[in-house]
Homo-oligomer: A and B are copies of this chain.
Amino acid sequence: MIIVLRRDATEEQVGHLVATIRGWGLTTHVSRGTERTIIGVIGDERAIRSKPLEAIPGVESVMAVLKPYKLASLEFQPERTRIRIPAVKPGGAPVEIGGPSVVVVAGPCSVENRDMLFDMARVIRGAGAKLLRAGAFKPRTSPYAFQGLGVEGLRYLAEVRAEVGIPIITEVMDTRDVEMIAEVADILQIGARNMQNFNLLKAVGRCRKPVLLKRALAGTIEELLMSAEYILSEGNREVIVCERGIRTFEKATRNTLDISAVPVIRRESHLPVFVDPSHGTGVWPLVAPMALAAVAAGADGIMVEVHPNPEQALSDGPQALLPKTFEKMMKDLQAVAQAVGRTL
């Protein structure tokens, strides 16, 4: 950590600052320049990162030298994390996430009813998707909108999983539901609005199921990795991070899908990175081009919404792909994956 002093900082202030930092168990290195005196902190700065150094008299600014996350960093773990989702049925193939193959997760936004869920599971699996997504508990901006089927939806998910033999990813919104959902789901999803619901992060961190963590609408990449760090630090090392669009001034799309998050995260962290172009754009004709872009940029997986009849969807219809559009996209994805040296 580097502490820049004010031009008018007194010797007494320098002494007080040095003493304070020593009191926290670190050593200092004072450098007097022509314009400013600068204090370098020697030792693991993470120990004092949350200390209010800016509040100490004479301090002008404080600059961190190290990233605030540790377990999530490529510096800590140079080999990439690979997550293995066991086969649901005996004899089935497991799914590997974070390896050479790009993994596609697809399904309806919500579990709406049993039949549709079974239909969609078969459609997306037939087209090459490896996991089924569908929400039983739904975060909705309006209290008057469909809130998900809840426990009934979870039951349908368990049934489709067992019968069709496809692993399931579904969202958990409440610390009280973690255990119940972890009994059904192969991967637990933390939604964008809960990226900094720290109690929920701790709860899934203590769970033995992989977690897909979505970036918040105003979440920086550093904060996304810090939220992953919450899960990792509780002992759960199977975390996937997912870019799903950030909020900007642009109104042509529901969110601005930050594709550059993919190479940025891959340079900083060993965790697999997914992209969700459905929420990332909010408009179905943009989903396929942005899925292709994500894979071209190096994404480890894609998560998209598919619905047999978007105009009757109970949530997020405008961004859902029709089965036939999804099938076309899968073919194009395969070509792009190959072009960048991966498989689908």
A interface residue numbers (CB < 8 A to B): 2, 4, 7, 20, 29, 31, 33-36, 38, 40, 42-46, 49-57, 63, 65-66, 68, 75, 139-147, 173-176, 193-194, 196-199, 202, 216-218, 220-223, 226, 229-230, 233-234, 246-253, 256-264, 267, 280-281, 283-286, 289-290, 292-298, 310-318, 320, 332, 335-336, 338-340
Contact = CB atoms under 8 A, between A and B. Distances in A.
13 contacts: A29-B31, A33-B42, A50-B142, A50-B144, A50-B314, A57-B311, A197-B197, A220-B249, A220-B250, A246-B250, A292-B340, A293-B297, A296-B296
A311 B55 contact: yes
Given A293-B259, A339-B336, A35 B65 contact: yes
B252 A222 contact: yes
**Chain A to chain B: the 7 pairs with minimum beta-carbon distance, closest first:** A52-B317, A218-B218, A296-B296, A55-B310, A54-B318, A335-B339, A293-B293
A38 to B, nearest CB: 6
Given A141-B196, A197-B197, A296-B296, 8 more contacts: A54-B283, A147-B198, A173-B197, A260-B281, A292-B296, A292-B340, A332-B340, A338-B339
Contacts of A53: 311
Nearest to A71: B143
A261 to B, nearest CB: 8
Copies in the complex: 4
A140 B49 contact: no
Most chain B CB atoms below 10 A, which of A174, A253, A283, A289: A289
A320 B146 contact: no
Contacts of A43: 33-34
Contact of A216 (B63, B218, B234, B285): B218
Nearest to A255: B260
A294 B216 CA distance: 24
B262 A317 contact: no
A84 to B, nearest CB: 25
A105 B207 CA distance: 39
A222 to B, nearest CB: 7
B2 A38 contact: yes
A233 B33 contact: no
A218 B247 contact: yes
A320 B176 CA distance: 35
A139 B197 CA distance: 8
